[in-house]
Amino acid sequence: MTTITTTAASPRRRAASFLHRHAGVRLSLLLSAPLAWLGLAYLGALAALLVTAFWSTDVFTGDVVKVFTWANFTDLVTGEVYRTVALRSIGVAAAVTLIDLVVAFPMAFAMAKLASPRAQRWLVIAVLTPLWASYLVKAYAWRVMLSSDGVLGWGYGLTATVVTLSYLWLPYMILPIYAGLERLPNSLLDAAGDLGARGWRTFRTVVWPLTFPAAVAGSIFTFSLSLGDYITVKIVGGKTQLIGNVVYDNIGAANNLPFAAAVATVPVVIMLVYLAAVRRTGALENL
Amino acid sequence: MNFSRTSRTLLRAALVAGLAVVYVPLAVVLLNSFNSDRTFSWPPAGFTLRWWGAAWDSAGLRDALWTSVQAGLGATAIALVLGTMAAFAVQRYRFFGRETVSLVIVLPIALPGIVTGIALSNTFHTVLGLPLGLLTVIVGHATFCVVTVYNNVLARLRRMGLNLEEASADLGADTFTTFRLVTFPMMRSALLAGGLLAFALSFDEIIVTTFTAGAGVRTLPIWIFENLFRPNQAPVVNVVAAALILLSVIPIYLAQRLSGGDPQTH
């Protein structure tokens, strides 16, 4: 073991005792770097992006014109294409969430209530494993499966996008629901059975109301991850366009950063509305 | 519990079917990496190791892998420092705006990647005038990796309590010695778990990378995405995909070891 020398006040020792006596200094030092990075730099970057959304691009030179204008947002609201794309993106996100919920719930239920503790451990690993496999690899796997001479051979398009996104985010739905069902005491299910409720009735009146916040927590992931995606759409979506593609194309091909910034606020606003709407359910504590 | 035989069977069947859907596409990729047919017509035409050889010899692929490793290590190192500092501040002190700190740390992964991506690229490019390159990729990745370290360290500090550190101080150890000999060893597995997750997140990231990498910087996901639509590169891309599926066993094994080797979790 180390012996601690208490001789002359070395600078190190003085610094240590200074820190020991001043909690405020300790706290400021601890917060300095993380807050400078995330609080100032990252939030600053987001704020700068928001400001950019109110600028415009010179049609001839392609330079950003730093003059306040509502033009981007007017285009966004009045342009029929953008409304269609926004609604399609919300539709895709909602469909993915619904599919994942329907697939994940029975799986999570079987894991939490039917499997032995030993099997449970392995099942959780089995569900977690695909999360470590690369996102691109999984989207690619579906590209291979769906290609016209692949295993399924359905071809690419909107349906392919919904299927692939549902596949990608399924574990994010299973895990919170599984955790929610684990917390649900078995005695409640027994009590419902003793009082004469059959399977469906028990589910509707006992299981679902108590696991609803967990399901909503899962839906935050599936909804938000689908809403911002543009890579999967490019891989299996054929010519389908979602909000993410509009943002991407306006930065790359169209070189119109202000408009891209304005479009990018759409998923952010939708997510904020969604989070505000589900806040009451207590879902945020289940994340 | 008294479930009817039918509901038991149905639920079990749903679980098995669900897991099958999860694993079949990955298995198809693995099988196709040995498929001698260039276009992966199904069923496979024959067995070959040619594509694995071709992938091994691809210089572009090797460069991309090395870039990804560098970016991952850089981002993880930054995330470890920032995440640990923030976790200590939030768990050990009470101050104004404490809840906001947690929110700000989660924000980079809660917002769609494309928003973080263009916000950062806009700042590097137009506000700071920095050239995009490996460094900007590391900065971008570190921003959303902090949360994994933060969450792991926060959970550990919550369980650790203050007793041992106070005992160390009572025995005469100063702040630094206590951290080195008591606090750090107790946090080590949490740091490893958080660092592992951070590295995995960075290694797999493509959206933020697309916007923060300059023209010359190609991480592995960018390489895969660029070659995904080139028919003559398909077999090599498929081998990379198969290799990544096989490699994902390593972090799972480590994560299991970390949680299994930690007596406090059981």
**What per-residue confidence (pLDDT) applies to A198?**
81
- Tens of pLDDT along B206-225? 999 998 988 889 999 999 99
Domain ranges in chain A?
11-52, 71-286
Least confident of A80-94, B130-144, B239-253: B239-253
- Cβ contact, residue pair B120, A228, below 8 Å: no
Tally of domains in chain B? 1
- Output the six-digit token pair for A79: 């342009």
Residues B25-32 have a mean pLDDT of 87
Size of interface A-B (CB pairs under 8 A): 258
> What confidence score (pLDDT) does residue A2 get?
53
The pLDDT of B129-141, averaged and rounded, is 90
CB < 8 Å to B10, chain A? 106
**pLDDT for residue B263 is more than 50:** no
The residues with which B47 forms a beta bridge, in sequence order, are B35
* pLDDT of A11 higher than 90: no
Instruction: Tell me the pLDDT band of B262, cut-offs 50, 70 and 90.
Output: very low
ipTM of the complex: 0.82
- Joined tokens for residue B14: 């749903």
pLDDT band at A92, cuts 50/70/90?
very high
A225: exposed, middle or buried (C-beta count within 10 Å: 0-12, 13-18, 19+)?
Answer: buried
Does residue B53 lie in a domain region? Answer: no
Percentage of chain A beyond pLDDT 70 is 95
Domain assignment present for residue B257? The answer is yes
A191-199 average pLDDT score: 84
Per CB-CB distance under 8 Å, the chain A contacts of B4 are: 198-199
SS3 content of chain B, % helix, strand, coil (to 5): 80, 0, 20
Instruction: With H, G, I as helix, E, B as strand and everything else as coil, classify residue A10.
Output: coil
Answer whether residue B109 is part of any domain: yes
Which amino acid is residue A254, in one-letter code? A
Residue B219 is predicted with a pLDDT of: 93
Region A163-167: what's the mean pLDDT?
A: 95
The answer as to whether B8 is a domain residue is no
B43-54 tens-digit pLDDT: 777 778 888 888
CATH of the domain at B159: 1.10.3720.10
Which residues in chain A are contacts of B15 at CB distance < 8 A?
106-107, 110-111, 114, 123
Residue-number span of the structural domain to which B138 is assigned: 61-265
Answer yes or no: CATH 3.30.300.20 is held by domain A71-286. no
Q: Residues 171 to 200 of A: which have CB under 8 A from any B CB?
A: 171, 186, 189-190, 193, 198-199
Query: Which residues numbered 124-163 in A keep a CB inside 8 Å of some CB on B?
Result: 125-130, 132-138, 140-145, 147, 149-151, 153
| B214 inside domain | yes
Give the pLDDT confidence score for residue B18 in this predicted structure: 92
Taking CA atoms, A73 is separated from A70, A252, B88, in Å, by 6, 20, 42
Instruction: Indicate the SS3 state at residue A147.
Output: coil
Length of chain B: 266
Domain-embedded: residue B6: no
Distance CA(B66)–CA(B70), nearest Å, equals 6
Residue B11 lies inside a defined structural domain of this protein: no
